[in-house]
Structures are given as C-alpha cells and as structure tokens.
Amino acid sequence: ERIFFQPGPTTLPKEVLSRAKAEWDDFEETGLNIMEHSHRGKSYETVHDQAKERLKRLMDIPETHDVLFLQGGASLQFAMVPMNLLESGKKAKYALTGSWSEKAYKEASKIGQCEIAISGKDTQYRTMPSMDYQASDEDAYLHITSNNTIYGTQWPDLNIFSHPNLVADMSSDILSRAINVSDYALIYAGAQKNLGPSGVTAVIIRKDLLHENEKLPNILSYHIHAKNNSLYNTPPVYSIYLLNLVLQWVEEQGGVAEMEERSTKKAKTIYDVIDASSGFYKGYASLESRSLMNITFTLENSELEQQFINECEISGIFGLKGHRSVGGFRASIYNSVPLESCEKLAKFMVQFQEKYGK
Ligand code: PLP
C-alpha cells in the first residue's frame, strides 16, 4: 500500500473520497453530480451554507467575522489583502519568515507602501525572528505567515502578536491547532492542504473591514463577495462540496483539538528519528521553530539523498522530495495524513540509517 506526504495538494481523507464517489452521479437523489447543479439552486445552496457554518463551528468564529469562499488561491490574497486594506497614507507591515511571506510582501509592494517589520532571512529562514515589533498608528495591518510550508518552520505561539489589524496566511496549518479568531483582522488559506482540494480559498474577515470601495473591480472586493454570500459569480462548486466533506470529517474526528493532538504526536514520531540519528538526518528548521505540518531534513550528500528517494518509492512512500530552495526532503503531514503513515516513515528512516549510516 502506498503512503503519501505531499506538500499540497495533499491527500484527502479516505472517508471523504468514498462519500464523494458514492454521490458521484446522483447527489441526494437529484440525478446529477453536485457540480452539475446550479449554484443558485437549493441543493448547492445547502452545501455552500453548510460549509460556511461548519468552518464557523470548527474555528469558533465569532459574529464579528464573516467567512468567504474565493478563487485564485492564497496567491490572489497576496494582492487582495493590500487592495482592500491598505489605505493611502498608511503602511502595510510584513513579517518575513519564508518564501510565501516574501511573495506576499512583494505583491503588496506593487499596490501601496509596505515595510518589513521583522525578518528571519539572516538565518535562511531556519528560525522565526524575535517579535520585537510595536504596532504603530501608520500601520494598515501586520501580515504574518503562521506556517512556512517550504522551510518547515512555524510560529509556535501565535499569541505573541498583538496588532489591531493582524492578517495571517494560514494556508498550511489552518485547522491543525486552536487559534483565537478575534485576534485577527483577516485570515486566509488556500484549501489544498488542510481544507480540501485546490480551487477554493477560505477568507475569514472582520466585518468592519468590509467597506465599499468604488475604485476596486467587484471581483477583487471583499465587500462585494461578503454582500453576495460568496455567490457574486459562479463559485468553484465541486471544490466547496469537497471542502464541506473535509470539514464534516474533521468534526467527526473530534474537531481542531483532536487535530492538534494528532499533529503533535505525528510530528514527534518523525522528529524523534531525526534527533536520535546523530546527525545522519539533518533537520533544516531550528528546534524552537519546527513545524508540525512540514518536516524538512537533508542527508550527508546527494548520492545518499537519491538512494533515499529510490528506496522510499520501492517501499511505497511518496511525496517526500524537498522544495528546490531547501533541497533534501520534506514530509508534509497535514490533517489527512494518518499517524500510521508517520510511523511507517519513521521506521523506514531508522532502517535506512542502519543500512547506510556509518
Ligand atoms: N501561502 C502558503 C503558506 C503556502 O503554502 C502556499 C502554497 O503552497 C501559498 C501561500 C500559495 O497558495 P496558492 O497556490 O493557493 O496560491
């Protein structure tokens, strides 16, 4: 049996795929697949609203905030956030902790005035920088990336940020740990890691930020999407349908608290092997910044790394190749990856070292 550790898109829970398969050509005895339904019809409307309500329940989203389902990936949010929230005369501040936050910063710089608040670049993004930043009146918002998918680092404690307008890209760790939504002006996440398939992006936005802006094209305006319950134009119906099934699965498993417990256990299984390997496996992230979602490590040399990949494939282990900017390997262990897969990988790693370690 094959097991997968892809960085995104990742696997969906088996139960979700089975359910989608069972409903494939006859959604609730309508004779149609859900994606063949009108997005203005009753069948789809129920799915759409269920997905929204489920995300609200799972994340304990207060009445002060609204949930939007948009297209264009997290990358469109790199642009939409400043387009909607960066008023002239203000500055957007960015915490640089990896490639994705750099991209967010660069996109925003095309739109208005931006500044780097803190940066971990001098450690090649191995370590999260210290949070020595004070909010200022000139700030439109402070943008952070909660988990750095490529480097395998994560802010261990999000409570260190207290900014009146905190914006967070949570694409790669949403629903993996409890957070206090009231602390945020806006949260966004491309779905293809912990929420479902690609094609839909969840945006959680504080309602006071939903003001009209005549100059913005409608499709780029949070106000327009919120006013139309994310049905301003045809939504990605099938992606939202699968997202709803994934959220249902998370609820059935025990919610975010359960995902958090599992994530901690899953990550420990693999980090323990790295730590006990006497340097055979070299973790990329510094200990205090390690991600519970993406585990990055390298081996002594490229021949050994090639051997590792080859033997992984023979053993049915896939998706471990690291991002080109870090090299080596990355085991992405999002919510849908079971503990047993992590245990299998850990066992494989131990055996590989026994075979090739000095
Ligand atoms: N932000 C983070 C933290 C990511 O991990 C990714 C994708 O991997 C993105 C943004 C970009 O997402 P998208 O491909 O949905 O635009």
Give the pLDDT confidence of 106-157 residue by residue, as tens digits. Answer: 999 999 999 999 999 999 999 999 999 999 999 999 999 999 999 999 999 9
* Domain boundaries, given as residue ranges, for the chain: 14-253, 255-356
Phi/psi region, residue 78 (left: phi>0; alpha: psi -120 to 50; beta: rest), is alpha
- % of the chain with per-residue pLDDT over 70: 100
For the chain, what is the mean pLDDT? 97
Q: How confident is the model at residue 254 (pLDDT cuts 50, 70, 90)?
A: very high
pLDDT for 326: 93
pLDDT for 317: 98
The arrangement of secondary structure in 255-356, i.e. its CATH architecture, is: Alpha-Beta Complex (3.90)
Question: Catalytic positions, please?
Answer: 100, 169, 193
Give the pLDDT confidence of 241-253 residue by residue, as tens digits. Answer: 999 999 999 999 9
Q: Is any atom of ligand 1 closer than 6 Å to the C-beta of 172?
A: yes
Residues 347-355, mean pLDDT to the nearest whole number: 98
Q: Relative to the CA of 191, which ligand 1 atom is closest? A: 15
Residue type, 38: S
Q: Annotation-wise, does 75 bind a ligand?
A: yes
**Largest interatomic CA distance in the chain:** 67
Q: Is any atom of ligand 1 closer than 6 Å to the C-beta of 73?
A: yes
pLDDT for 190: 98
Give the pLDDT confidence of 2-31 residue by residue, as tens digits. Answer: 999 999 999 999 999 999 999 999 999 999
Residue nearest to atom 4 of ligand 1 (CA): 171
Q: Is the pLDDT of residue 337 over 90?
A: yes
Q: How far apart are the first and last CA of the chain?
A: 30
Task: Kindly list the distances between the CA atom of residue 290 and the CA atoms of 65, 98, 149, 232, 268, in Å, as whole numbers in the listed order.
Answer: 30, 13, 11, 40, 10
| Separation between Cα atoms, residue 233 and residue 323, nearest integer Å | 35
pLDDT for 103: 98
pLDDT for 232: 98
Q: What is the ipTM of this complex?
A: 0.99
* Domain covering 14-253 assigned CATH 3.40.190.10 in the classification: no
| Separation between Cα atoms, residue 218 and residue 123, nearest integer Å | 41
Q: Is the pLDDT of residue 191 over 90?
A: yes
Q: Is any atom of ligand 1 closer than 6 Å to the C-beta of 199?
A: no
Q: Is any atom of ligand 1 closer than 6 Å to the C-beta of 353?
A: no
Q: Relative to the CA of 198, which ligand 1 atom is closest? A: 15
Q: Are strands 147-148 and 153-154 parallel, antiparallel or unpaired?
A: antiparallel
- % of the chain with per-residue pLDDT over 90: 99
pLDDT for 212: 95
Which pTM value belongs to this model?
A: 0.98
Ligand 1 center to residue 172 CA distance, Å? 7
Q: Is the pLDDT of residue 358 over 90?
A: no
Choosing from 97, 105, 143, 149 the residue with most ligand 1 atoms within 8 A of its CB, the one to mutate for a pocket test is 149
Q: Is the pLDDT of residue 286 over 90?
A: yes
